[in-house]
Chains A and B, each alone.
Chain A
Amino acid sequence: LLIVLREVLRELRDRMMWGFDNSF
């Protein structure tokens, strides 16, 4: 690999990148 998935991939293509996990 290195087809819900369709929507996630659309966002990944556009790219939630903030890493601090105790907020958004």
Chain B
Amino acid sequence: MAGVGAGVSGQPIPFRQFIVKTHGRCNLACTYCYLYEGPDSGWRDRPAAASADVLERTAGRIAEHARAHALGDLALVLHGGEPLLAGAGTLARFTDRVRERAPAGCAVHAVVQTNGTLLTEDRLRVLTDAGVRVGISLDGGTAAHNRRRVDHAGRPSWPAAVRGARLVADRFPASYAGVLTVVDPELDPVETYESLLALRPPALDLLLPHGNWSARPPGQTGARYGDWLCAVFDRWWAAGRRETRVRLFEECVALLLGLPAAGEALGLAPFDAVVVETDGSIEQVDSLKSAYPGAAETGLDIFRHAFDEALRHPGVAARQAGADALAGQCRACPLLRVCGGGHYAHRYRAGHGFRNPSVYCADLQRFIRHVAGRLAGAAAAVPAVVPAAVSPSSPLSSPSPSSPLSPLSPREGSAP
């Protein structure tokens, strides 16, 4: 699934992840939000909530796509804005309709991604009964960490958010999907991680804030973000047990070992997610909106078009083209198979499109090499496991190494 060139055969990979904007507004006004504070203000022109008609037609289009491609499973992501503004009952009924209309044998994995402030016991029961898992977005596990997550009056969201997170952990642990955290390099990495552990998430993901060559990430100097991730990785790696799953770390380990992985942050797996906006527009994922206005648009909608038509959109095709869609520096880089050029949105440069290395190139190198070093160290501790040192004839010892487990190449690290 993560091989170089997967999806390059000319045959598009069907969508398996359907992100449905059940509500297009948010009860918070986080100061760094790429959607509401970023360059694309298209949300202002769309209905606040998806209508019953949009949701019903979306369920039909998802079922049509699942049937056409004989999907054995798919992910239904209830998103926003703040999706719970649509009401837990609406989310549950919509999920039920997608499951009812999906072909027999197609499992629908449903999750809602929320800021946590609207979670109550009643709402969680409705979601749990409908088989909808709950992911929460937080910047850390303390009020100070979440200082940028405020409501429209500037009041902190933390008291309500932590109440919601604790409610899920205490009363509905089987429905708890995890916590998403945007990295803030101003915060202490280990303290941030340990504070998140206190919320008992079954999984975490650490997201680099959206930025690109024309709108640099906040506070980016050297490999500051990479160093931050390395510090958390070491705390996670040395814990003596796996305290929680950390998606970024585990995908990196998988890729370094040549195993399948899927994710936007790393690797070359063809991307298989599509978005339905509140007005029924079919779009690419929101992160592209951090690049320029209209970057996610396809010109398609669920009233007139099947999802198959979106598979033919050039932007979708580029994200399924593996290494072929990358800059020359990336294709020549020994970390290519693991890094994969980083997150697509982070490659953008005004006037040059997305065929550039990631604006986080130095950070990704620092992080990937750090993880590889820890893996190599663990293997070295068990002599029976360590294969013979690389022989002179091995491709790993050639002057132009192609494996991420090869010595540093002077070609890597170049950036436009």
Contacts and interface: CB of A to CB of B under 8 A. Distances in A.
A1 B111 CA distance: 35
A13 B339 CA distance: 22
Contacts of A11: 245, 250
Interface residues of B, number: 58
Contacts of B240: 4
Contact of A1 (B250, B260, B405): B405
A21 B17 contact: no
B392 to A, nearest CB: 18
B302 interface: no
Grouping DSSP codes into helix (H, G, I), strand (E, B) and loop, the B interface class, with mixed when no group exceeds half, is mixed
Interface of B: 1, 16-17, 19, 75, 77, 79, 109, 111, 113, 133, 135, 177-178, 180, 203, 205, 207, 236-242, 245, 247, 250-251, 253-254, 256-260, 262-265, 269, 271-273, 285-287, 343, 372, 375-376, 378-379, 381-382, 385, 403, 405
Top 9 nearest A-B pairs by Cβ distance?
A: A19-B262, A24-B177, A7-B242, A21-B264, A23-B113, A20-B273, A24-B135, A23-B77, A2-B258
22 contacts: A1-B372, A1-B376, A2-B258, A2-B405, A3-B382, A4-B241, A5-B237, A7-B241, A11-B245, A12-B254, A15-B254, A15-B260, A16-B247, A16-B250, A17-B260, A19-B17, A21-B247, A21-B287, A23-B177, A24-B113, A24-B177, A24-B178
Interface of A: 1-5, 7-8, 11-12, 15-24
Given A16-B247, A20-B285, A21-B264, 11 more contacts: A2-B256, A3-B379, A4-B242, A8-B250, A18-B262, A20-B17, A21-B207, A21-B263, A22-B287, A23-B113, A24-B203
